[in-house]
Chain A
Amino acid sequence: MTTPTPVAPVSNGFVIELEQFSGPLDLLLHLIHEDELDITDLPIAKIADQFLAVINDLGLNEAADYLEMAARLLRIKAQMLLPRRLGDDEWEDPRAELVRRLLEYQQIRELVEWLGQAAARRAEQLGRGFRPEPPAAPPAPLVIELNDLLAAAERVIALIPEPVLHRVVPRPLDVEGASARLQALLAERAEFGWLDVVGARPTIVDVLSVFIALLELAKRGSLSVHQAGAFTPMQIRRESPREAV
């Protein structure tokens, strides 16, 4: 049995980020290419050890897809160790399925390179105007239970550090100020979230001021408000003011 030969990516000067591999097959191919191994006659013990070492180093050992591959490699490694009789025609190479998948995946990677180049070449030519993204499917009609609504209101109120319900708040709503803040943000960014406007610890006056300013600006058409679903954070998008009809 071979002793594990852990690879140390850092000492190889080869730093990997999670995004660099699109999946366990990609990582496996990378290891195979790096050691210039024969894909059809994989030294399974070696590759299994390397794979384990790398996912451990990358902290990928909690990602299900990588773990599944690790388990598969270990199983193949164990099957390769089983004694087999000489001239046994029945023997099926336990690596066969993995090799088939790797070859298939390698083909896909080649196509990816081709597609990427085709897309890059196409991007050098521009058509007339720019096509807006195709419209997304309309959101499902909003169905809210009263209790959900109350719970949502409670969540908003809970964001406010100290409920000052027992005191009369001398400050009137500052809609103008909130409106100015929104417009400054709109000038800066095409899209931002509700929390960017109200900040992390808003008072109830802040929340109400911003909300009223938001509605006012939306009515004027300078922005639009989107929500992916009930109770998800609002997204505010810049809109060009509507032309008069």
Chain B
Amino acid sequence: MSPLAKLFEAALFASSRPLTVEELRTLEPTAGEAAVHAALAELRDAFAAADHGVELVEIAQGWQFLTRREYAEAIERAQFALRPRRLSPAALETLAIIAYRQPVGRLEVDEIRGVDSGAVIDKLTERGLVEVVTRGEGLGRPLLYGTTPQFLEILGLKDLDELPRLEELSVALRPPAPAEPE
């Protein structure tokens, strides 16, 4: 492996969150962007080729070493690591609205959901999944919310462009899916 790839390996190993390309570049400021990307690809391919238990994943506008999926169950059984808490349907609804309408205020979220969403937004803010990004123009200059990099991280997305496009959804009414949540 190239020295740059090994340097990145060390940094990514030490980090518990995804590191962005900009952050990785601060390790070796003389390296050009193309060289950084090449080193990351080299590192990812090296781990894939050598058949390891972890893999280098592009996620949340950065890169992170993650355990391979096939070990999830064993690790969970052994309880080495805490799994993140699952998000409630109300939380996911609110996240979906904020992700697609950002920057968006509480009133608009309430209106689309048909219920008061203040408490849910507060919880999502506390978990660092959404944040106030700006203030609106209207009465009282309402706080407007947007998603954070952590939102991308818990969904395993590289960036917001990976969310499905609205045109791709089947807006037409379908019969309920057989696997409805109980």
Which A positions have Cβ atoms within 8 angstroms of B? 22-26, 32-34, 36-39, 65, 69, 101, 103-112, 114-116, 118-119, 121-131, 133-134, 136
The majority secondary structure among interface residues of chain A is helix
Min CB–CB distance B128 → chain A (angstroms): 4
Residue of A nearest to B177 (CB): A113
Min CB–CB distance B8 → chain A (angstroms): 15
- B69 on the A face (CB < 8 A): yes
Evaluate contact between B154 and A111: CB separation under 8 angstroms.
no
Q: Known: A110-B170, A134-B128. Contact between A24 and B115, CB under 8 A?
A: yes
1/0 contact string of B126-156 vs chain A (CB within 8 Å):
1110000000000000000000001001111
Evaluate contact between B157 and A22: CB separation under 8 angstroms.
no
Evaluate contact between B156 and A118: CB separation under 8 angstroms.
yes
Evaluate contact between B173 and A125: CB separation under 8 angstroms.
no
Min CB–CB distance A182 → chain B (angstroms): 25
Q: Known: A118-B156, A125-B72. Contact between A105 and B114, CB under 8 A?
A: yes
In the bound complex, what is the Cα–Cα distance between A67 and B15 (angstroms)?
50
Evaluate contact between B96 and A22: CB separation under 8 angstroms.
no
- B22 on the A face (CB < 8 A): no
**6 tightest A-B contacts by CB?**
A122-B156, A23-B115, A125-B66, A111-B96, A25-B114, A124-B72
B150 proximity list for chain A (CB < 8 A):
134
Residue of B nearest to A114 (CB): B164
Evaluate contact between B89 and A127: CB separation under 8 angstroms.
no
Evaluate contact between B156 and A131: CB separation under 8 angstroms.
no
In the bound complex, what is the Cα–Cα distance between A51 and B34 (angstroms)?
59
Q: Known: A119-B87, A126-B75, A127-B66. Contact between A108 and B97, CB under 8 A?
A: yes
Evaluate contact between A36 and B67: CB separation under 8 angstroms.
no
Looking at the complex, which one of A108, A119, A125, A129 makes contact with B68 (CB distance below 8 Å)?
A: A125
Evaluate contact between A125 and B156: CB separation under 8 angstroms.
yes
1/0 contact string of B40-72 vs chain A (CB within 8 Å):
000000000000000001000000111111001
Looking at the complex, which one of B15, B64, B68, B155 makes contact with A115 (CB distance below 8 Å)?
A: B155
Evaluate contact between A22 and B113: CB separation under 8 angstroms.
yes
Q: Known: A111-B100, A112-B96. Contact between A104 and B112, CB under 8 A?
A: yes
B127 proximity list for chain A (CB < 8 A):
133-134
- B86 on the A face (CB < 8 A): yes
B175 proximity list for chain A (CB < 8 A):
33, 36
